[in-house]
Amino acid sequence: MSAEPRQAIRTVWVLNGPNLGRLGSREPEIYGHVDEAGLRGLVATWGEAVGVAVRLRQTDDEAQLIEWLHEAADGAVPVILNPAAFTHYSYAVRDAVADLTARGVPLIEVHLSNPASREAFRQVSVISEVASGTIAGFGVDSYRLALVALAGT
């Protein structure tokens, strides 16, 4: 009997940007009622269903977010990124995302709301052009859809 080598479980990082630590209580009519702990549980469950281990981290700090993106690029770790307000103006986050995707590491930009249907300043994403894809407008389900998409990459 030949033993098949066991496939290493793939890890995906979920990186959430500023103010997303306040999920559940922050403008719930826009961002929903699931808090960060709830989202952490959901992405773990959804990850299991598609065979990936998920690590969720959140920061309000642009430098921290960029450092995590560098780590993901160096470790070839696929990323689901909700850049939050950085979406609309951070060329520094964009450059870090571009560095990662240029190495062939997939990164999906996600949003809970649909920024395209909101204020004018939210209708610009400086990230989308360098992301592998974007999923927006499905509440926390945006993260599930991104996991399904990444599992197929």
Which residues bind to ligand DQA, rule: CB under 6 A?
19, 82, 84-85, 87, 111-113, 115, 122
Running DSSP on this structure, what letter comes out for residue 38? H
Burial (0-12, 13-18, 19+ Cβ within 10 Å), 105: buried
Residue 125 phi, psi dihedral angles, 5° rounding: -120, 125
Burial (0-12, 13-18, 19+ Cβ within 10 Å), 47: buried
Strands 10-16 and 52-58: parallel
For ligand DQA, which is the closer residue by CB, 113 or 128?
A: 113
For ligand DQA, which is the closer residue by CB, 10 or 113?
A: 113
- Among this protein's residues, is 31 annotated catalytic? yes
For ligand DQA, which is the closer residue by CB, 50 or 85?
A: 85
- Among this protein's residues, is 70 annotated catalytic? no
Any residues with CB less than 8 A from the CB of 4 and at least 6 apart, and which? none
Among the listed residues 70, 88, 111, 143, the single catalytic one is: 111
Cβ at position 19, least distance to ligand DQA in Å:
5
Report d(CA 140, CA 145) in Å as an integer. Answer: 9
Cβ at position 54, least distance to ligand DQA in Å:
17
Cβ at position 110, least distance to ligand DQA in Å:
7
Cβ at position 90, least distance to ligand DQA in Å:
11
Cβ atoms 4, 52 nearer than 8 A: no
For ligand DQA, which is the closer residue by CB, 87 or 132?
A: 87
Active site residue ranges: 31, 111
